[in-house]
């Protein structure tokens, strides 16, 4: 959000890679525009502590120094992660409470409490010269939240009367009609599974789903079970939340994992990470029998209490199938909910529009299909086309007293980060990884006597992960050898020319005869 020389950033998240992004761990935004205008950035304002809203912060803070505005709870959850990734960075946290007014140059920002699947979630009302820009963040209207803290519906109505210029609304669940069930509805579903389980009960959810973990402790205490936690991030979050009073663990219920062997299986519950099939998570390693601290047993029951992030479905189903093979009962669907979404359904989205009565509407935090359906709902509520916008990455929405239109593109896009932690994996690197994964690699070593300008010995071929018909590499050798021996002395001394010729020759021959496209890697050894 920018007015004049003042910029405020609302959230700084990450997304997860698709299956085509081999070796990529996370995807973060391209921060070029913010870096180019870093002297104008007045702060990053965080709506809540979920990774898709805060996970990009370490990469932004490497580039610019900027204050981070958030609730005490959000700060407690993210500080350690930031300090791990930015060990020498001075972090400038500024704590707010819902209802505070934070000045940011000509702009001001007011956080407004709203319910979600994590404590201390806020929408952001940004006051500008032309009116209020209201960013809902992730929200739902839960009238029986686990922590008892309701959305400030009254304040949304007051903002509507003051004048909301544009509502930037969550649209993730716009395909779901009606009202979303309360988080508290999950308790009955969990209670039913706990009551039916003959052995240990394992539950996997996001490490930040504090309300869900609170419910597990309460139900376990009711049924005489002890609860152990598996997964470093989940343990850290629980420790933090218990210290700050956001989780109330019944006395004597929480145990360490190494104490679990002291109790019979029907007196144990395990909270574990791995709900998205993450390769290194505790649950995935358990499903493969590779987690030394805990093994799956026949008679175990696993509750899958999460919603798959798009792109993770295949990894999740593989994990679930392996658990079934080990004799574990997996509950991933239930007539009585074992998971509810933290995002608003259709009627809740309409309620937010009616409360705030914005002049313009723009659905965000959703995919194109969600934006399209949200716009249909807005039109049915009387909004004409010229007051409903489709936001696209890098295309700013320009507003003044009398009109709004989409402006010229600014730098935007995705930046890929692999396990090295270094952002900026290129499309060329991804293409090479996909070629290797699909068709393998062929390495051609060419020894050249640079003094004489001749081959020092025959080229050598090595292949890994390549499966072609018998004799294909021999045929490639013959063509490469003939091509090299036809070059002049000066041409052989041109290593770039030789690399290109070898790579092009082998690639074309293999593709023509096999339809395979291995990565061809020529290596010149200068003798």
pLDDT tens-digit series, residues 141-173: 999 998 899 999 999 999 999 999 999 999 999
- Burial-class residue 512 by CB neighbours within 10 Å (0-12, 13-18, 19+): exposed
Given a cut of 80, whether residue 19 has pLDDT beyond it is: no
**Is 425 within 8 Å of 408 (Cβ atoms)?**
no
Strand 441-449 and strand 460-464: pairing? antiparallel
Taking the model in full, what pTM does it have? 0.88
Residue 432, annotated as binding a ligand: no
E strands present in 214-307: 226-230, 268-272, 301-304
Which of the four pLDDT bands, split at 50, 70 and 90, describes residue 319? very high
**Structural class in CATH, domain 185-331:** alpha beta
Kindly state the greatest CA–CA separation across the chain.
Answer: 86
Residue 444, annotated as binding a ligand: no
Cα–Cα distance between 182 and 275 in angstroms, integer?
A: 21
Is 386 a residue of the active site? no
Cα–Cα distance between 202 and 230 in angstroms, integer?
A: 10
Residue 327, annotated as binding a ligand: no
Range 418-431 average pLDDT: 89
Q: Tokens 């290129």 correspond to what residue?
A: 426
Residue 50, annotated as binding a ligand: yes
Residue 365, annotated as binding a ligand: yes
Which run of H or of E encompasses 257? none
Which pLDDT value is given to residue 24? Answer: 86
What does pLDDT average to over the chain? 93
Is CATH 3.10.20.30 the classification given to domain 427-526? no
Is 343 a residue of the active site? yes
**Is 320 within 8 Å of 330 (Cβ atoms)?**
yes
| Phi (first) and psi of residue 224, to 5 degrees | 75, 30
Residue 130, annotated as binding a ligand: no
Q: Is the dihedral of CA 212, 213, 214, 218 positive or negative?
A: positive
Domains 2-179+341-418 and 185-331 in one fold: no
| Phi (first) and psi of residue 137, to 5 degrees | 65, -165
Higher pLDDT, 208 or 328: 328
Which pLDDT value is given to residue 421? Answer: 84
Residue 340, annotated as binding a ligand: yes
Residue 138, annotated as binding a ligand: yes
Residue 370, annotated as binding a ligand: no
Considering 170, 300, 439, 501, which one is annotated as catalytic?
170
What residues does each domain of the chain span?
A: 2-179+341-418, 185-331, 427-526
Q: Which fold, 2-179+341-418?
A: Metallo-beta-lactamase; Chain A (3.60.15)
Distances (CA, A) of 517 to 61, 252, 434, 507: 40, 60, 10, 7
CB atoms under 10 Å from CB of 167, counted, come to: 28
Which pLDDT value is given to residue 439? Answer: 93
Alpha helices in 43-101 (DSSP H): 51-54, 57-61, 72-85
* Closest to 514 measured CA to CA, from 440, 443, 446: 440
List the structure tokens of 77.
Answer: 């959850």
Which pLDDT value is given to residue 155? Answer: 98
Which pLDDT value is given to residue 336? Answer: 87
- Burial-class residue 447 by CB neighbours within 10 Å (0-12, 13-18, 19+): middle
Considering 211, 300, 343, 370, which one is annotated as catalytic?
343
């Amino acid at each position: 959000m920018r007015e004049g020389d003042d910029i405020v950033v609302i959230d700084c998240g990450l997304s997860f890679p698709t299956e085509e992004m081999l070796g990529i761990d996370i995807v973060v935004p391209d921060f070029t525009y913010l870096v180019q205008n870093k002297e104008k950035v007045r702060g990053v304002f965080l709506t809540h502590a979920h990774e898709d809203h805060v996970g990009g912060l370490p990469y932004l803070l490497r580039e610019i120094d900027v204050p981070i505005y958030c609730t005490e709870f959000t700060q407690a959850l993210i500080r350690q992660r930031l300090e791990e990734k930015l060990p020498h960075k001075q972090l400038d946290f500024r704590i707010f409470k819902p209802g505070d007014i934070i000045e940011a140059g000509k702009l001001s920002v007011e956080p407004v409490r709203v319910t979600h699947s994590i404590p201390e979630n806020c929408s952001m009302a940004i006051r500008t010269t032309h009116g209020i820009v209201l960013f809902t963040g992730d929200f739902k209207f839960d009238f029986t939240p686990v922590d008892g803290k309701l959305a400030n519906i009254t304040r949304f109505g007051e903002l509507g009367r003051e004048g909301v210029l544009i509502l930037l609304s969550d649209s993730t669940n716009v395909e779901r009609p009606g009202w979303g069930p309360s988080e508290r509805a999950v308790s009955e579903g969990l209670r039913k599974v706990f009551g039916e389980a003959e052995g240990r009960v394992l539950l996997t959810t996001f490490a930040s789903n504090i309300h869900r973990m609170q419910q597990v402790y309460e139900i376990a205490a009711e049924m005489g079970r002890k609860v152990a936690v598996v997964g470093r991030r989940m343990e850290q979050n629980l420790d933090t939340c218990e210290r700050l009073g956001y989780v109330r663990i019944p006395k004597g219920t929480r145990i360490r994992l190494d104490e679990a062997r002291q109790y019979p299986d029907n007196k144990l519950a395990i909270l574990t990470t791995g709900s998205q099939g993450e390769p290194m998570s505790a649950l995935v390693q358990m499903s493969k029998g590779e987690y030394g601290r805990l093994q799956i047993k026949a008679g175990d029951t696993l509750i899958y209490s999460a919603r798959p992030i798009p792109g993770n479905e295949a990894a999740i189903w593989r994990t679930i199938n392996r658990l079934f093979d080990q004799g574990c009962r997996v509950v991933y669907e239930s007539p009585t909910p074992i998971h509810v979404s933290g995002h608003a359904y259709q009627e809740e989205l309409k309620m937010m529009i009616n409360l705030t009565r914005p002049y313009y509407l723009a659905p965000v935090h959703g995919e194109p299909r969600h934006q399209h359906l949200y716009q249909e709902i807005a039109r049915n509520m009387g909004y004409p086309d010229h007051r409903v916008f489709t936001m696209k990455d890098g295309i700013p929405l320009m507003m003044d007293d009398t009109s709004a239109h989409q402006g010229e593109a600014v730098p935007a896009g995705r930046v890929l980060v692999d396990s090295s932690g270094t952002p900026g994996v290129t499309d060329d690197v991804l293409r090479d990884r996909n070629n290797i994964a699909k068709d393998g690699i062929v390495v051609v070593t060419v020894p050249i006597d640079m003094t004489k300008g001749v081959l020092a010995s025959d080229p050598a071929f090595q292949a890994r992960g390549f499966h072609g018909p018998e004799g294909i590499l021999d045929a490639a050798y013959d063509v490469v050898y003939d091509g090299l021996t036809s070059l002049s002395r000066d041409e052989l001394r041109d290593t770039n020319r030789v690399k290109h010729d070898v790579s092009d020759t082998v690639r074309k021959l293999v593709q023509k005869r096999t339809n395979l496209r291995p990565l061809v890697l020529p290596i010149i050894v200068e003798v």
